[in-house]
Amino acid sequence: MQKKASDYLNLLFDIGELADLVTGSSDLESFLELVVDRVARHFNAPVCSIYLYNEKSNRLTLKATKGLKPEAVNKIHMKPGEGLVGRSFETLSIVREGNAGKNPGYKYFKEAGEEPFNSFLCVPIKRGVEKIGVLVVQHRDLNHFEMSDERAIWTVVNQLAGAIENARLLIAFSQAGEDSEVTESLVFVKGSAAAAGYALGKAVVLNEQQKSILYDPVPGEDQFTKQDFSLAIEKTTLELKDLQKRFEQKLPESASLIFTAHFMILKDKNFIGKMGDLIDEGLSPADAVRKIAAKYMGIFSASPHAYMREKAQDVEDLSVRILNNFRSREEKTDYENGSIAIARQVFPSDILKYVSAGVQGIILASGGVTSHVTILARSLQIPLIIAEESGLLDLPVNTTILMDGDLGNIYINPKKETIALFETKARVEKEAHVVSMEKTTWTKDRKRVILLANINLLSEVPLAKVLKAEGIGLYRTEFPFLIRSTFPSEAEQYVIYKKLFDGMKNCPISIRTLDAGGEKTLAYSDSPKETNPELGLRSIRFSLKHRDIFEFQIRAMLRAAAGKKEIRIIFPLISSIDEFLEAKQVVYDCMEALSREDLEFNRDVALGMMVELPSVLATIDEFAKEADFFSIGTNDFIQYLLAADRSNKMVADHYIPCHPAVNRGIARIAEAAIAGGIEISVCGEMAHEKEYIPFLLGVGIHTLSVDPQFLPMVQKTVMNLSMADAVEYAKRMLAETTVKGARSVLEAFK
């Protein structure tokens, strides 16, 4: 019988019925049982089930059911994305199937006894951004549920979400003891290597645990006085000054105060002063800090502007520091020299703080990581591992952790033999890197190849020099922008660039203009959120749109390069001749302005471009007439040419460096550069991957720029190659029209 739209009013819970569910249950389990029973009745469905998500175990568990076998409760588990239930949860979308068993994504559990039920309707339970679980209704009839049922069940779930969320949190809390037993059994975790290296230290779990003091009182804090408050403020100020000094030693890019916002807040009478007033009125010092901090964090978090919302993090960090400084140093649980930081989420500023404090390695549990965080970790030579194991967040403080950042392996409380093995391995590798490098690089048949270094931070310059890099093929300028709370001034950038040029005297240096946007977002720029940032306002587009910021950077580069030779400026993500000419004109305009101001600058800088977009291939010969040099950024070139984001696991297999289109594209760029008489190099990851180096040499690219740690390996690879063989190999690769064919040539040459 056809349902009437008005019938669905009966599916909605009224306030009285909701109240009955909450008050009429004796415990959490009976509450969930009442919910599934009532929903099943409303929908005239023989089955209704609730699956709740547990963050620690990263799985959905059947917690209540009407219609399936009762013994299946707490025994059926699924990870996000697994089965129809997991898919609904992961994608936050309704799943409706007329014959669920025939869907290839259906997950069958024998213990559930759900074979008789064909129609399946599943809706995610969420509250705000918080994912709670999934509610499912099932029916014996085929194609029983309709679009109107989707609307109705969505409304019902929204009505129940708040109460179910409370039940989930309390259930998770009551199971904490069981979870800790699981955590104690952790001895080895396989993760993904994000930044290589070896680290051994005591575990310190950050983020939530460190911030808990901002919300929960600690024993003895009722004894604190206003004098303790004043001392805590003083300690916090000194602590920030000390941290700033360590920043400047580790990271010269932080020439200005990274903690400007913190210092300004400390000077704000409406912040510290209001805390003092509350203490005078009888509130405890710790609660006074919490109350004012909550007020400021609420104001900033509610702002529509991203850069203002970020201020809430500054207030939070500062307030946690103040509260910690009520206690003596011995009582504090902050990270310290030699520890391994374990966190759910990591930002560039976090890594800088950890490194300045002496942290030896970072493990990112239950979260993703952006490429600039990875690059920063590599540049600071701190191992970084991403591990999908939330149990790491529950490790007791001071648990011994050994990190193998090369393979992504994590050892919990490792044996002495394991530690000794890694210490020996690390020492041998370090010695081999320094000893094996030679000043210049030749192939076996005495053809010259130039090896340059990619630099992200000034702290990498000494390593590049020790490893005998012949210059800097790419200096990425975005980190001074990323670590500040506002755009760095011309003067601040001048100091950074001058240190770079002075540090690599008489060597060619290529410095790239700001490559912001995409995943390297600047919160304080307040740019509108983009649906597809990788195809949005990024790199040279951002600079040309914000010409004042672009001019500050170009002026700083030109002034810092005064009196220096072989300085080159690279424009990233160029898509057209017009764009390149516009960027060049900005340089000429800056030169003219500096000349009028009678300031010293370099008039002879070379102007080149990153070749990263397929659009330039059609006019590459014309680009070779306008540019002084090309630098191929293979990472973006492959990504845009093949429309495959390699960080997306679903399409990572489509990111194929040996794809015939990639091979021919690179060869075409090299051909145009050689014909135009301009220099060409590769600075993307293909330049340090052994299997692709022969092809690059074979098509005529004899300058490779790689991260410093890869220099010894690349030199060894080149010196074991014959250029004649590389040329023949490149010809065979270029003749292939299929990926399969290219891979067979690649394998045969190894």
Q: Name the pLDDT band for 520 (thresholds 50, 70, 90).
A: low
Rounded alpha-carbon distances, angstroms, from residue 33 to 63, 65, 373, 669:
9, 7, 45, 66
Q: Can you tell me the mean pLDDT for 689-698?
A: 96
Predicted pLDDT at 446 = 94
- Per-residue pLDDT of 321-360, as tens digits, reads 898 888 764 444 455 667 898 887 776 667 777 777 778 9
| Whether pLDDT at 142 is above 70 | yes
Helix 348-356 vs helix 226-250: angle between axes, to the nearest 10 degrees?
100
pLDDT at 226: 92
The answer to whether 372 is a known catalytic residue is yes
pLDDT at 526: 58
Please report the pLDDT score of residue 336 as a whole number.
Answer: 61
549 pLDDT higher than 60: yes
206-234 pLDDT, tens digit per residue, is 755 455 677 777 778 888 999 999 999 99
- Which contiguous run of DSSP H or E holds residue 152? helix 147-174
H or E element at residue 54: strand 47-54
Would you place residue 18 in the very low, low, confident or very high pLDDT band (cuts 50, 70, 90)?
Answer: low
Whether residue 79 is predicted with pLDDT greater than 50 in this model: the reply is yes
pLDDT at 101: 84
Residue 185 DSSP label: T
- Domain 190-422 is in which class? alpha beta
What is the helix (H) or strand (E) element at residue 474, kind and residue range?
A: strand 472-476
What integer pLDDT is reported at residue 531 of this predicted model?
73
Structure confidence at residue 254 as a pLDDT band (50, 70, 90) = low
Condensed to tens digits (0 to 9), the pLDDT of residues 237-247 reads: 888 887 777 76
Give domain 447-749's CATH superfamily.
Phosphoenolpyruvate-binding domains (3.20.20.60)
> Binning pLDDT at 50, 70 and 90, where does residue 423 land?
confident
Q: What is the dihedral of CA 519, 521, 526, 527, to 10 degrees?
A: -40
What's the average model confidence in pLDDT over 294-301? 86
Q: Using the predicted structure, report yes or no on whether residue 29 has a pLDDT greater than 60.
A: yes
The pLDDT value given to residue 108: 82
**In the chain, what percentage of residues exceed pLDDT 70?**
83
683 is catalytic: yes
Which has more pLDDT, 65 or 420? 65
DSSP 303-350: -SSHHHHHHHHHHHHHHHHHHHTTS-GGG-----TTEEEEES---HHH
The predicted-structure confidence for 476-495, as pLDDT tens digits, reads as follows: 998 777 766 667 889 889 98
pLDDT band at 367 (very low <50, low <70, confident <90, very high): low
- Does this model's pTM top 0.75? no
Per-residue pLDDT at 372 exceeds 80? no
Residue 203 has pLDDT above 80, yes or no: yes
Q: Which residue has the higher pLDDT, 240 or 402?
A: 402
pLDDT at position 91, please? 87
pLDDT band at 460; cut points 50, 70, 90: confident
Proportion of the chain above pLDDT 90, given as a percent: 42
Q: Which of 144, 262, 372, 433 is catalytic?
A: 372
Query: Is the pLDDT at 184 greater than 70, yes or no?
Result: no
Q: E strands within 110-214? A: 119-127, 130-139, 188-190, 192-195, 198-205
How much is the mean pLDDT over the chain? 84
> Which of the following is catalytic: 658, 683, 688, 702?
683
Count the Cβ atoms, other than its own, within 10 Å of residue 118: 19
- Domain residue limits, the chain: 5-174, 190-422, 447-749
What pLDDT digit, counting tens, does each position of 81-110 carry? Answer: 888 999 999 888 999 999 988 888 888 888
Specify the CATH number of the domain 5-174. 3.30.450.40
Would you say residue 181 has pLDDT above 70?
no
Amino acid at 155: T
Q: What are phi and psi of 40, to 5 degrees?
A: -60, -40
So what's the pLDDT on residue 691? Answer: 93
680 pLDDT above the threshold of 80: yes
Q: Can you tell me the distance from the alpha carbon of 522 to that of 479, in angstroms, rounded to the nearest whole number?
A: 10
Which of 103-112, 203-212, 433-442 has the highest mean predicted lDDT (pLDDT)?
103-112
> pLDDT-derived band of residue 283, with 50, 70 and 90 as boundaries?
very high
pLDDT, tens digit, 9 for 90 and up, residues 499-517? 999 999 889 999 999 998 6
Please write the tens of the pLDDT for every residue from 727-743.
Answer: 999 999 999 999 999 99
Per-residue confidence band for 525, with pLDDT thresholds at 50, 70 and 90: low
